[in-house]
Copies of this chain bind each other. A is one copy, B any other.
């Protein structure tokens, strides 16, 4: 069950605390990459770029002073949780951290709608991470305050996809015309599914490089194909590496393989090393949603094309932009 139908741009007449309706994002939820068109992305990334410049210049500023974010994590994700906390604090706002939902009375039998309607009494915006697909949309259905989906099961993780795209834009200056190669476990990786969908808004070429048992799912390929995006499927990274502008690496988990020998063979061929990367362009970038566990050699970290830690920083700016937008302050 997906509940994305209920996402629809809200008007939120009850939004509190003297805010003015500054733009089309005020009071909205961020639930799915499907809710954005290209103009949306352009605007969000402009705001994110402004955030980047402000952070570099002054570190922190009081755009959201007095605003409170509830960071509601039903499963642990230190990386995403910390990123949202930092985003809110760099904007001068405060955070109610709820990381221990598994142990808490909130989780004991209480429905998600009830939890959300309680927490929105205390805060101005709620970021939710939940193991069940559709839970962010369910939360949004009942909330009067904006909901930001920080990952709901195998469903969506829209802020990750947005930060991935913003990284490409900031690093390479444009998206149209690029060849983007996705590498690793393309079957289970929520990240690459969302990114592929979002990239259909641009004029790009996509390569999918994975072990045969971990291919990009057919429904993603069909969806992308319907937008006339060129797609190439292969198991051989060497073949597409020279033409690649963006190499998006994901982790291949040993547990996916029945035969450990197949895993070992596959794993080796997909490890990014300085030597392998001599065959890639000089002005391309390597991305990874992190954490990595060996897919990219640490020896490659000092290469200017290694963009994966900068990617974390771009995530901060995108989340600052989203918080400011839905609170009507950007």
Binding site for B on A (CB under 8 A): 16-18, 55-61, 65-68, 70, 76-79, 82-83, 85-86, 89-90, 94, 96-101, 103-106, 108-111, 113-115, 117-119, 121-124, 290-293, 298, 309, 312-313, 315-316
**Given A106-B291, A291-B108, A309-B121, CB of A94 within 8 Å of CB of B100:** no
User: Which of A57, A82, A312 has the most C-beta atoms of chain B within 10 angstroms of its own C-beta?
Assistant: A82
B57 touches A79 (CB 8 A): no
Whole-angstrom CA separation of A291 from B116 in the bound complex: 12
**Complex contacts, A55 vs chain B, CB 8 Å:** 17
Minimum distance in angstroms from A117 CB to a CB of chain B: 5
Residues of B within 8 A of A65 (CB): 60
A119 neighbours in B (Cβ, 8 Å): 82
Residues of B within 8 A of A61 (CB): 66
Residues in B whose Cβ lies below 8 Å from that of A117: 309, 312
A59 touches B105 (CB 8 A): no
CB distance from A294 to the nearest CB of B (A): 9
Residues of B within 8 A of A114 (CB): 290-292
Complex: chain B residue closest to A19, CB-CB: B59
Residues of the B chain whose Cβ atoms lie less than 8 Å from the Cβ of A90 = 66, 68
Q: How far is the CA of A206 from the CA of B106 in the complex (A)?
A: 30
Contact B70 A105 (CB under 8 A): no
Instruction: Return the contact of A17 from the options B59, B70, B79, B82 (Cβ within 8 A).
Output: B59
Contact of A313 among B76, B86, B121 (CB under 8 A): B121
The docked-state distance in angstroms from the alpha carbon of A82 to that of B90 is 21
Interchain Cβ contacts under 8 Å between A and B, 5 examples: A79-B106, A86-B123, A106-B291, A114-B290, A117-B309
Q: A68-B89, A89-B96, A298-B113 are in contact. Are A56 and B16 (CB under 8 A)?
A: yes
A78 adjacent to B59 (CB under 8 Å): no
A150 to chain B, nearest CB (A): 13
A82-B98, A89-B96 are contacts. A60–B66 as well, Cβ < 8 Å? yes
Please determine whether A100 and B99 come into contact, CB atoms closer than 8 angstroms.
yes
Q: Is B56 touching A60 in the complex (CB atoms < 8 A)?
A: no
Once A89-B96, A118-B309, A309-B118 are accepted as A-B contacts, the answer to whether A60 and B67 lie under 8 Å apart by CB is yes
Task: Give the CA-CA distance A68 to B92 in the complex, in Å.
Answer: 11
Min CB gap A329→B, angstroms: 12
Q: How far is the CA of A46 from the CA of B309 in the complex (A)?
A: 38
Q: Once the chains are docked, how many angstroms separate the CA of A168 from the CA of B293? A: 47
Contact A104 B89 (CB under 8 A): no
Min CB gap A199→B, angstroms = 24
